[in-house]
Amino acid sequence: MELAGLACAQTLATVYKKDKFPRVLVCCGPGNQGGDGLVAARHLGMFGYDPMVWMPKPGSKEIYQRLATQCKNMKIPIIQPTNDMSPLRDALARSDVILDAIFGFSFKPPVREPFDQALSLITESGLPIVSVDIPSGWDVEKGNAAGVGLDPDVLVSLTAPKEGAREFKGL
Ligand SMILES: NC(=O)C1=CN([C@@H]2O[C@H](COP(=O)(O)OP(=O)(O)OC[C@H]3O[C@@H](n4cnc5c(N)ncnc54)[C@H](O)[C@@H]3O)[C@@H](O)[C@H]2O)[C@H](O)CC1
């Protein structure tokens, strides 16, 4: 998770330079991928970006809570967990790029709330998206068959590209 999060932060920093894209909205799901996102947020902060974390359903594992504490200790803003979409809308309006760490290889469709609405809002924002491992909303084997997944510009495959990412056309 530490290496995965560092790789994601380094990739985002390589493609989206901090002078043009300083405000990174790190969207974290409840599983290990959310943990990758929290690690990435920490590194992005150290690289000189202004990360903000949106995690509506914080993971229950101790590692997840420890990673969130590290972000808080670094004064990285974390949006209060809620099913209300207003804070996400506001955060999107104040961001330059999104790190999508919502769902990884354990995602099973269909998308449940509050992530269903969130994926739509993220897509509608038109902001560039860097996805971790598999774009959120994509089935790890069948890809974006349901058509509700994100359409990222950059995908960071961890360990190996996933079968479902065959249709991915970005970087
Ligand atoms: N060796 C590696 O490749 C490593 C990968 N890492 C990252 O971890 C994820 C996989 O983590 P996992 O905890 O197994 O699951 P997810 O993060 O994908 O999420 C599970 C989480 O999501 C909830 N959920 C599932 N389906 C839905 C749905 N339809 N709607 C709403 N919520 C859903 C589920 O309940 C769980 O809470 C991998 O992709 C990498 O990013 C690690 O960094 C370690 C090394």
Largest CA distance in the chain: 40
Residue indicated by tokens 């594992």? 61
Of 70, 6, 1, whose CA–CA distance to 32 is shortest? 1
DSSP run (H or E) holding 93: helix 86-93
Q: Please list the pLDDT of the chain residue by residue as tens digits (171 residues).
A: 999 999 999 999 999 999 999 999 999 999 999 999 999 999 999 999 999 999 999 999 999 999 999 999 999 999 999 999 999 999 999 999 999 999 999 999 999 999 999 999 999 999 999 999 999 999 999 999 889 999 999 999 999 999 999 999 999
Residue of 67, 106, 119 best suited for mutating to test ligand 1, as the one with most atoms within 8 Å of CB: 106
Q: Which residues line ligand 1 (CB under 6 A)?
A: 1, 4, 29-33, 36, 103-112, 115, 132-133, 158-159
Task: Output the CA 36–ligand 1 centroid distance in Å.
Answer: 10
Residue of 39, 61, 107, 131 best suited for mutating to test ligand 1, as the one with most atoms within 8 Å of CB: 107
Which structural domains are found in the chain, ordered by start? 2-162 (3.40.50.10260)
pTM over the 0.80 mark: yes
